[in-house]
Amino acid sequence: MKNIAILGGTFNPIHNAHLQMAKTVYATQKYDEILFIPTGIPPHKSRFSDSIADNYHRLKMCELAITEFFEYKISTIEIYSDQTNYTIDTIKELKHKNPDNKYSLIIGADSLMHILRWKDATQLIELCQLIIINRPGFDSILEGYIEFLQKEYYADIIIIPMEKTAISSTQIRNLVSDAKSIEGLVPIKVEEYIEKHQLYKYKHTHKGDLTKLKERLSKRLTEKRYAHSLATMKASSELAKYHNIDIYKAEVAALLHDCAKCYTDSKKLEMAKRYKMDITPSEKENPDLLHQRLGSIVAMRDYGVTDTEILSAIECHTTGKPDMNNLEKLIFISDFIEPTRKSFYAMENIRELAKHSLDMALVAILESTIQYLLDQKKEIDERSLETYRYYIEEKEELKWLKNHLKY
């Protein structure tokens, strides 16, 4: 019987903060080994894979990173799977193959706050001990929320403090793409591997390209639609300053968010079929809704945008989606509040709200949109409803935390 702590992730690429987490957990002397599980198809990632290295490369980098640590092992249980990888399914398979082993799951404190939204969360909590890597700023939140999970779900939770490390895979990819050094951020063997195989060298738009993008877009959209795009870009740029979001990414995503609006409904349907999209009932009734998903493809195909965050923000700017990142929220909101939009009784309140809370502005826009569609007896896209339900639950969760935790 072994007591095994699992550290899963995309590892795109694996870096020194990952190794520090493993080292910190192993140093407790409670675990026989640390099992790294690089994922194949993570449920939370965008379908755009230009910045995600091939499975073989990510696995090889993990192997190189841990060669000097006998206590670290790697499992290929997920990376060679052709299915979306959910933690509960991986744990079940590991338990089936090694029923005597005890498996614990290493996660960050921020992930713990959302664990009840994971697939089969209750069963996962029953099967696994949760090892929480406590990052600065979560102490008071953890105390109350862990008590809640222990009382309501009988969760087995251990907290391990670790100094904050300002390293992320996104940061490393961006540095490589900009031909800058990543020395000290990844093990030397991983650095050499990235250079040898020219990983993360994909092109991306640069600030000097904005003028070119505007010129090209102005020829593809109607004068009114192009004016709306410029107004959305202005709104996104101003809002990005309030929320410390990359202004250039916000401007590019906002400028191109409607780049597929120029196509007729029949052309949109034809393109969706060509790109093998699953068309939702609301898109079938109103094909114009397809412009957000087609927009991400057109932005990449016709405008040379390869930044996955920008593409993802374009892809969900009309309906939203659960668990949006800040850039995605920003574009969704900017599209709604831009200054040329027809004003209504709540518009100014939403514009002001957006400066203080993206989440609250997002919910207010969804409520307004859904109510309007109900009044007009129009089809409501299921993604909008799913997004609204997600953030209402999020808001209730935050309300619970505020009422029950000591700050």
3 state DSSP class of 4: strand
Question: Given this model, what pLDDT does residue 189 score?
Answer: 97
Q: Which residues contact 195 (CB under 8 A, 6 or more apart)?
A: none
Contacts 24+ apart (CB under 8 A), 291-294: 291/258, 291/260, 291/261, 291/263, 291/318, 292/257, 292/260, 292/316, 292/317, 292/318, 292/319, 294/260, 294/263, 294/268
Q: Say which amino acid occupies 140.
A: S
Residue 71: band (very low, low, confident or very high) from pLDDT cuts 50, 70, 90: very high
Higher pLDDT, residue 396 or 262: 262
Question: Given this model, what pLDDT does residue 395 score?
Answer: 57
Q: Say which amino acid occupies 156.
A: D
From the list 105, 110, 142, the residue with the least C-alpha distance to 125 is 105
pLDDT mean over 129-152: 79
Question: Given this model, what pLDDT does residue 168 score?
Answer: 82
pLDDT mean over 327-345: 91
pLDDT in tens, 338-373: 999 887 777 888 888 888 788 888 988 998 888 888
Q: Which of 14-18, 120-124, 278-282, 297-301 has the lowest mean pLDDT?
A: 278-282
pLDDT mean over 3-32: 96
- In this predicted structure, the answer to whether residue 47 has a pLDDT above a threshold of 60 is no
Question: Given this model, what pLDDT does residue 378 score?
Answer: 79
CA angle in degrees (0–180, nearest 5) for 386-389-392 = 150
CA angle in degrees (0–180, nearest 5) for 74-76-78 = 125
Question: Given this model, what pLDDT does residue 379 score?
Answer: 75
Question: Given this model, what pLDDT does residue 144 score?
Answer: 79
The pair of structure tokens assigned to 308 is 């996955």
Question: Given this model, what pLDDT does residue 401 score?
Answer: 44
- In this predicted structure, the answer to whether residue 207 has a pLDDT above a threshold of 60 is no
Indicate the DSSP class of residue 405. S
Residue 407: band (very low, low, confident or very high) from pLDDT cuts 50, 70, 90: very low
Which residue carries 């991983």 as its tokens? 190
Rg (CA), the chain: 23
Q: Which residues contact 366 (CB under 8 A, 6 or more apart)?
A: 320, 384, 387, 388, 391
Residue 61: band (very low, low, confident or very high) from pLDDT cuts 50, 70, 90: very high
Question: Given this model, what pLDDT does residue 49 score?
Answer: 46
pLDDT in tens, 368-402: 888 888 888 877 788 888 998 888 776 555 454 44
Distance CA 8, CA 185 (A): 19
Q: Which of 7-11, 245-249, 386-390, 399-403 has the lowest mean pLDDT?
A: 399-403
pLDDT mean over 188-201: 92
Residue 45: band (very low, low, confident or very high) from pLDDT cuts 50, 70, 90: low
Q: Which of 60-64, 267-271, 273-277, 374-378 has the lowest mean pLDDT?
A: 374-378
pLDDT in tens, 220-231: 999 999 999 999
Distance CA 314, CA 217 (A): 15
Burial 42-73 (b: 16+ CB within 10 A, else e): beebbebeebbbebebbbbbbbbbbeeeeebe
3 state DSSP class of 32: coil
Residue 333: band (very low, low, confident or very high) from pLDDT cuts 50, 70, 90: very high
Residue 205: band (very low, low, confident or very high) from pLDDT cuts 50, 70, 90: very low
